[in-house]
Structure 1
Amino acid sequence: MKNLVVALVFCFAFSCQNSAQVTNPKQQAVIDAEPIEIPLENGKAKAYFASGCFWCVEAIYESVKGVNEVISGYSGGFTKNPTYELSNTGRTGHAEAVEVIYDPNVVSFTTLVDVYFASQNPTQVNGQGPDRGSQYRSIIFFQNAEQKEIILKKKAALAKKLNATIAAEVYPFQKFWIGEDYHQNYERLHPNQGYIRNVSIPRLRRFQAKMPEVLKSSH
């Protein structure tokens, strides 16, 4: 009985914490804000996604044709200058996210959204795989009405196909905070690290098997 009470208290506390994440007025202001559109730079566009550990997501998008660079960082929250340590508390509002720098003449935003859904468990709430918490939640960021429409249509179609609720939140893009240097290119630089071997690389391989047509020739 004692264990049951402890378990119920833990669940209640966990639920309250996540409920607070959603209803926090500062967080709601982020969700309700007008999107900020990033202009092309040297013919390259930028897109932003959160889907669990950014080590995994960075490697997935870097394997896609037309993607020039992927940067790991934080987005979706209300706290300025978030750090890895602060983000991991779940109290900054941010999720681990990536900035995808791509050539829109080679790969479209629509395809990047397809990559997003194909590279995760789309029904897992507040996490991916073993990574749990609001800092690992799934978010797709839109910069204009066209992108928002693409995301919502893809999300609705996937929900119908799976007959399930899709966990990804849809946010107007506000700001991307670049992560610490040691997080960049983490999977490529640390292929033998335990998490990379057991979680990140298998996730990358599953995605590559689903969408081989979008991969760079070196993958």
Structure 2
Amino acid sequence: MKHSIYLLVLLFTFSCQNSAQSKKQQEKITTAQPVELPVEQGQARTYFASGCFWCVEAIFESVLGVNEVTSGYSGGHTKNPTYASSNTGKTGHAETVEVIYDPRLINFSTLVDVYFGSQNISQENGQGNDIGSQYRSIIFYQNEAQKQIILRKKDSIAKALNVKIAAEVYPFQKFWKAEDYHQDYEKLNPNNRYIQNVSKPRLNRFKEKFPDILKTNQEKD
């Protein structure tokens, strides 16, 4: 009996630690005014979270019009999150990518299509075997026009597929860049077992669905 109670306490403690944030904290985040970043030197920035950022970074970097993707953290209530702290589930942050793109070549709406089309849209609090609030799906908007694009697409997909879309919709506040060793991880570690077994298959599934918006080999170079 004591053993059973101990297990229940452990499970409850883990659940509390792995929750993204309290209802009060989440309400503060989701009702905040979005921060809109200016287009600089013809480049715009947008932010997505959908599981391990190693996978998501590689997906967006394969898209024509995307010039750079940076891995980091966003969506939480603490300052200066790290990989270690976000993995506790106590910061509220999710692994997020910053997508720097040329709006003359690709628009925000298409990037939202890439986002929804490159993940398990119904999985809550994770992607595949990567489970936890740090791996949950969040899509960030910077103005009302972006918010409406997201909500229309989310509603349309949910109705078409008759599923509940797990992605949360947050006003963008701040992006915290991840540690250097996370950047371009798939490109720099092609023989890593996780990359071989998870990231590359996910990337290849995306490429099969979106062949018309992929970079050519010359454009990748």
Q: How far 1:217 sits from its partner (Å)?
A: 1.1
Poorly superposed stretches of 4+, deviation over 2 Å:
1-18, 20-28
- The TM-score normalised by the length of structure 1 is 0.93
Structure 2 unaligned runs (5+)?
none
Task: Count the aligned residue pairs.
Answer: 218
Instruction: Report matched runs for 1:18-29 at 5 Å.
Output: 21-29=20-28
SS at match of 1:41: coil
Q: Contact 2:20 / 2:76 at 8 angstroms: preserved in 1?
A: no
Matching residue of 1:92: 91
Q: How far 1:3 sits from its partner (Å)?
A: 9.2
Q: Which deviations, in whole Å up to 9, do the C-alpha atoms of 1:99-158 show, x marking residues without a partner? A: 000000000000000000110000000000110000000000000000000000010011
CA distance in 2, matches of 1:3, 1:115: 47
Matching residue of 2:71: 72
- The TM-score normalised by the length of structure 2 is 0.92
RMSD: 1.9
**Change beyond 3 A, Cα 1:202–1:6:** farther
Q: Does 1:114 align with 2:99?
A: no
Matching residue of 1:105: 104
Q: How far 1:162 sits from its partner (Å)?
A: 1.3
Structure 1 unaligned runs (5+)?
none
Q: How far 1:27 sits from its partner (Å)?
A: 3.1
Q: Contact 2:71 / 2:177 at 8 angstroms: preserved in 1?
A: yes
Q: How far 1:30 sits from its partner (Å)?
A: 1.3
Give percent identity, aligned residues only: 65
CA distance in 2, matches of 1:128, 1:12: 22
SS at match of 1:107: coil
Q: Contact 2:21 / 2:91 at 8 angstroms: preserved in 1?
A: no
Instruction: Report matched runs for 1:175-214 at 5 Å.
Output: 175-214=174-213
- The aligned amino acid for 1:21 is A
Matching residue of 1:134: 133
